[in-house]
Structure formats: C-alpha cells, structure tokens
Amino acid sequence: MNAAAPVDPAAIQRAAKLLARGGLVAFPTETVYGLGADADNRTAVAAIFAAKGRPADHPVIVHVQETRALDAWAREVPATARALAQRFWPGPLTLVLKRSPRAHDGLTGGQETVGLRSPAHPWARALLAAFCAARAEATAALAAPSANSFGRISPTRAEHVRADLGEKPAGKVDLILDGGACPIGIESTIVDLSGAQPRLLRPGAITRAQLEGAIGEPLVDADAFAPRAPGRLEQHYAPCTPLELIEPGRLPARVNELRGTRLAVLAPAAVPPDRTADIVLRLVAPADAQEYASRLYTMLHELDAAGAQRILIERPPTGPAWEAVADRLRRAAG
C-alpha cells in the first residue's frame, strides 16, 4: 500500500471554504481521486457534470462523514445497510438505497435511489469534517465522482487530475488537493440494497465473499432492472489509445501479427520480452491481485502516454481476488 502524504490543515480549510461557496475540489480517497462539490448545492453539482462531460442521467456517489448521514440522504435504511456500514465504513463501499427528498435528481440521475459512501482516506476524512463544520451541518456531504473526463482512465495521483481536468484559471477545478497516490487504486464496491435482494453492481476491493459474510445472504448480480450506477457502461476507464486484452500465451503471436504497429505492452514477468522496436513501452504486471489493482490506473496512464498506436494487455488470472481488476480491464478495452 502507498503511504498517504501528511494532511495539510491549511489546504483542507481552504478547500472546505471553496466547497461551501459552491466550488469544485479534487481530493484523494483510498480508491481514486474524487471531484467534489457540495451535494446540497444543485448548481455546484451541475458544475461537476460540466467539468467531466458527464451525461446528466449518470448518478454520482454522495460522500458522507458518518453513518448517521444514512438517515439524512436515504428514506429507507434496511438492517443490511446498517450492518454493512458498521462493518466496512469508513472504507471503499458504496451503498445504493432509496433516496430521501434531500437527494435531488442532480445526484441520482433522476432515479429513486442514491449511492452513499464514507471514505477512509485521511485527507478525505479531514475534508469532510472541515466541510461539515463550514456548513454547520453534521450530515453535509460531497458529491464526488472520479476526477477525470467522463469514461477515461480514473486518476490515482494528483498529477493525473492536473493533466486531464486541470486547475483554474486554465483548468476546470478550483483546487486540487495532493494527498499522494491512492492506496487501493480502483473504485469502490457498489451494493444495491434498494430492492428485495442485495445486488452487486460493481466489484471492488471489498469482495463478494466479505459482503455475503457480513449480511448472511448471497449477493445477486446486477440485471436489467438494477439502478444505474457509476462505472457500469460497457466502455469506461478507457485510455485514448485502443486497448486489446490478450489471452494468456497469445501475446508473442499477437505482437508478431502487429508488426509495424507501435505497441505498449503490459504482461507478467514470465512472458518473454519481445525485443522488437515496435514495442515502445513494456510494463511488468504485478502477480498479486491487490498490488495489480493499486497500480492499474497508473500503469494505464503510462501506457496511454507512451506514443503507441495500440495497447496490449495479457488478461490477468481469474478468480474472486481478480474480479474487480478483470471488470475494469474489460470495460477499458470496451
């Protein structure tokens, strides 16, 4: 895991004041950098969508400081939601619940559900505490999707946000807080608890087995009737360079088939390196699922910036530990 940079109290106070005035602040969470705005301020929330180029019907996750905010933002909080919040909050878990009147259409994409999360990153927690104090409202919250252009690679470092959205006056964000690299590196697990059965909408660092152990019942997969949720489009987290997933054992042959095409490659160390000049960058894929997840978006940013015409990635191993990584790579390849 990456160590977070020490929290800068002066920067946190400046950010909280900007947010309370309706500004946009990019900040680190344990998953990825979020683009935050006052969740109660419809104009500020709309500014997130404009900055990202995000479709208006695509909901955002509402970040709260404490579990008591559940009752402020959701009109029904089942026992399973309280059990999961007690077990995994603060942490990389988003709960989708039936929304309260406070959760306006700008947050929910016009749906009758809202996604809520309490982040664990020390910068995010300090920012939420300062923002709640600035608003004099214990259940104040931040709407915060990932701090990147819609559909592109998520940012796990402040420099990713600067390179994409940028800071004002030249960029789109009022302030970018640099808290170092995000330790988990992929977005939160999303569980829908608004219906009769709990549904897994997006895999993440908190696994299906952990969730089922906490609630004592199985999770069903998302179906056509599941609420829309962040990161579930068929193409998402995508680099600008076309990305191709290669089955294990097929990479050398695929490189040979693409002679004359500039390639950037991500593959395990055991795959023999190809010495061809067509490969402009070769990265070694981590063998551990947790390390792979924490480095995934940083590696994708490097591959995308290499000047290649195509990115080739050997599919990682299968199994429960790799579910979230496989989901992000599948969507990045589109």
200 and 83, same domain (yes or no): yes
Quote the pLDDT of residue 226: 84
The candidate with the shortest Cα–Cα distance to 63, out of 114, 7, 12, 16, is: 114
Give CA–CA dist 183/178, Å, rounded. Answer: 13
Last residue of a domain, one of 163, 189, 221: 221
Mean pLDDT over 246-250 rounds to 95
In a domain, 280, yes or no: yes
In a domain, 233, yes or no: no
What's the structural domain count of the chain?
A: 2
Give CA–CA dist 147/34, Å, rounded. Answer: 5
Instruction: Please provide the size of the chain in residues.
Output: 334
Q: Which CA distances in Å does 133 have to 64, 67, 81?
A: 13, 17, 26
245 forms beta bridges with: 313
Mean model confidence pLDDT for the chain:
94
Give CA–CA dist 315/266, Å, rounded. Answer: 9
Instruction: Report which residue type is found at 285.
Output: A
26 and 156, same domain (yes or no): yes
In a domain, 309, yes or no: yes
Residue 2 has pLDDT above 60, yes or no: no
The candidate with the shortest Cα–Cα distance to 125, out of 64, 51, 190, is: 64
Give CA–CA dist 303/288, Å, rounded. Answer: 20
In a domain, 4, yes or no: no
Mean pLDDT over 136-155 rounds to 96
Kind plus residue range of the DSSP H or E element containing 295:
helix 289-304
The CA dihedral of 261, 295, 166, 148, to the nearest 10 degrees, is 80
| pLDDT tens-digit readout, 87-100 | 999 999 999 999 99
77 and 121, same domain (yes or no): yes
Residue that the structure tokens 């709960």 belong to: 95
User: Any idea what the CATH number is for the domain that residue 196 is in?
Assistant: 3.90.870.10
In a domain, 234, yes or no: no
**Dihedral of alpha carbons 7, 153, 173, 42, sign:** negative
177 and 318, same domain (yes or no): no
217 and 155, same domain (yes or no): yes
100 and 143, same domain (yes or no): yes
248 and 197, same domain (yes or no): no
Q: Are 309 and 240 in contact (CB under 8 A)?
A: no
| pLDDT tens-digit readout, 36-60 | 999 999 999 999 999 999 999 999 9
In a domain, 98, yes or no: yes
Quote the pLDDT of residue 290: 96
Mean pLDDT over 291-313 rounds to 97
305 and 182, same domain (yes or no): no
The candidate with the shortest Cα–Cα distance to 205, out of 66, 329, 93, 332, is: 93
280 and 316, same domain (yes or no): yes
In a domain, 231, yes or no: no
Mean pLDDT over 127-154 rounds to 96
214 and 309, same domain (yes or no): no
Residue that the structure tokens 């219906």 belong to: 195
Residues spanned by the domain of 65: 9-221
Cβ burial, residue 162 (10 Å; 0-12/13-18/19+): middle
User: Any idea what the CATH number is for the domain that residue 275 is in?
Assistant: 3.40.50.11030
Quote the pLDDT of residue 163: 97
186 and 289, same domain (yes or no): no
CA 126: distance to chain centroid?
Answer: 19
Mean pLDDT over 171-189 rounds to 97
189 and 303, same domain (yes or no): no
Plot region of 175 (φ>0 → left; ψ -120 to 50 → alpha; else → beta): beta
Helix %, strand %, coil % of the chain (to 5) = 35, 20, 45
